[in-house]
Structure 1
Amino acid sequence: MSTVLVVEDSRSQQECISHQLRCSGLNVIQASDGVEALDRVERNYPDLVLLDIVMPRLIKANPETRNIPVIFLTGKGQQLALFSRAIDRAEACVSKPWQPRELVATIKKVLLNARIEFDRASADAWTEYGILNLSAIELYQSRTDARTKYPAQIIKFYESSLAAFEQALAMEPSHSNANKYRNRVQTIRGILIKKLEKTQHCKVCDYYCGKDGINCAVHPAFPPQQQCRDWKFN
């Protein structure tokens, strides 16, 4: 049984698509955003990815997942030109509102024609993947609540990019771009972790340590041994 990863930020559409695919004899795993999708791909290695967000480039740029077929499901017909590079890397494109028979037929056709080939990636390919991860970081960091809502995702992208540059340098130690970006990522990642430590969520009192000048307090219902470490006693 083939496994399809359905990536859709609309919960109702995600469930609708998943139900249609299961009824057609396909195994389905789900993701709600790009970061979750990349994690599902790396953990489950699905036979095909169906997505409504501009993430095919990261999947296709990763030397370890680039041979997984991708179908682009989008209702943004008027913006297809903007996504041309992403669509070019996908195996097929289905427009919303989709017709169940058309969608299932497209998925099965792509799966039938898929040829999973494992080849040795070049240092340039790993470097490109690392740079694309940095582009994804910019998307998350542009949000005002990035450090409190998306710290794990941002750190994961930094770690993925760093690992990619390390792979490139292992293959070609003198690769200038990989070396330059690796050093930059190491520096930025270190600075970010220090900043996140100042706004780390407190599991005891549900405040963010140091956020907006607020220090964590000790909840009166908890015993002394569970008091917040950030509390400063006079």
Structure 2
Amino acid sequence: MKTCLVVDDSKVIRKVARHILETLDFNVEEAADGREALDRCSSQLPDVVLLDWNMPVMSGIDFLTALRRSENGEKPKVVFCTTENGLGHIQAAIDAGADEYVMKPFDRETLQSKLQIVGAA
């Protein structure tokens, strides 16, 4: 079973994402900020990271930069999932190593489509 780490400071978003991902046969872990997510990745890398941009402690972009620099950090597929829809944000995410970008709010079909694009669904 594939694994997904959902990184978002909103408990509601984490719960919604977990529900969708579990229906897509993912084993789901959660983190409330980038630092917690980085700690989880250092112990075991997930197949996919669903990542929010704006979070306390460590932002999504800072997490992604640190992840990609870490040992085997290029392996997880990273899908940014955020309300930030400016071209500058999307380009910054791609430049930092994001594989895909999805806008909040999202639904099962949208998320499944993005996961298929990155080869994780």
Structure having the higher strand fraction is: 2
- SS of the residue corresponding to residue 72 of structure 2 reads coil
8 Å Cα contact 2:47/2:75 also seen in 1: no
Q: Deviations over 1:59-116 (max 9, x none)?
A: 11223322221111111113x4046233331111111111221102212442349xxx
Query: Contact 1:77–1:95 at 8 Å: present in 2 too?
Result: yes
Task: Say which structure, 1 or 2, has more relative contact order (CA 8 Å, 6+ apart).
Answer: 2
Matched residue SS, 2:22:
helix
Cα deviation per residue 1:180-218 (whole Å; 9 max; x = unaligned)? xxxxxxxxxxxxxxxxxxxxxxxxxxxxxxxxxxxxxxx
Compared with structure 1, are the counterparts of its residues 11 and 112 closer, same or farther at alpha carbon in structure 2 (3 Å cutoff)? closer
Could you say which residue in structure 2 is the equivalent of 1:81? 88
1:58 is aligned to 66
- Alignment correspondent of 1:104: 112
Superimposed CA distance per residue, residues 127-173 of structure 1 (whole angstroms, 9 cap, x where no aligned partner): xxxxxxxxxxxxxxxxxxxxxxxxxxxxxxxxxxxxxxxxxxxxxxx
TM-score calculated relative to the size of structure 1: 0.44
SS in structure 2 opposite 1:97? coil
Aligned to 2:39: 39
**Partner amino acid for 1:103?**
L
Q: Is the 8 A contact 2:4 2:47 kept in 1?
A: yes
Is 1:67 equivalent to 2:75 in the alignment?
yes
| SS of residue paired to 1:77 | coil
Distance 1:51 1:87 in 2: 13
Equivalent residues, number: 112
**Larger proportion of helix:** 1
Q: What's the CA shift for 1:16?
A: 0.8
- What secondary structure, in the 3-state scheme, does the structure 1 residue paired with 2:30 have? strand
What one-letter code is carried by the residue in structure 2 that aligns with 1:71?
V
Structure 1 stretches of 4+ moved >4 Å: none
Residue 33 of structure 1: how far off its partner (Å): 0.2
% of aligned pairs identical?
34
Ranges in structure 1 where 5+ consecutive residues have no aligned partner: 114-234
Task: Report the AA paired with residue 107 of structure 1.
Answer: L
Equivalent in the alignment of 2:26: 26
